[in-house]
Amino acid sequence: MSAEPRYIHHVNFPTTDPDRTAAWYAQVFGMKRITPKSNTRVVLMTRGTFDLHFTPVEEMERMAPYHFAVEVDDWDDFLAHLKELGIRHTRPIQRPENQSKFCYIHDPDHTMIELVHHARRPN
């Protein structure tokens, strides 16, 4: 038995439109909506390797600079995917010291998401 945590199971963010949010995360990140057996209004989304939860709210407060980051396997393909969906991103920044790139996008509620790619990330 270990007293250390294994990993982050999920994070929870607010949403003003649960169905729009579920559709957006399914389209952008290939996540699947899970229908809970319990009586909850929380939107449960999974990718298998990470989960996101969204709690319905009436009004959205600005969350920036708070954000979460998603590592992508193929930088160019993912940016092309965003372009096909009409999703704008910030200017990509490269970090030569660790062979990484990053930029930011926003979901429909303006939650900031950092997209990251490490060319030589250890497994």
pLDDT given for residue 122 in this prediction: 59
pLDDT given for residue 107 in this prediction: 96
SS3 18: helix
Question: What does each C-alpha distance from 32 to 47, 55, 68, 123 come to in angstroms?
Answer: 6, 16, 18, 25
pLDDT given for residue 1 in this prediction: 61
SS3 77: helix
pLDDT given for residue 36 in this prediction: 84
pLDDT given for residue 121 in this prediction: 65
pLDDT given for residue 60 in this prediction: 84
**57 is written with which tokens?**
């709210």
Residues 6 or more apart in contact with residue 10 via CB below 8 angstroms: 50, 51, 52, 53
pTM of the model: 0.88
For the chain of 123 residues, list the mean pLDDT of each consecutive stretch of 10: 80 95 98 89 93 93 85 96 97 92 96 92 60
pLDDT given for residue 78 in this prediction: 97
SS3 107: coil
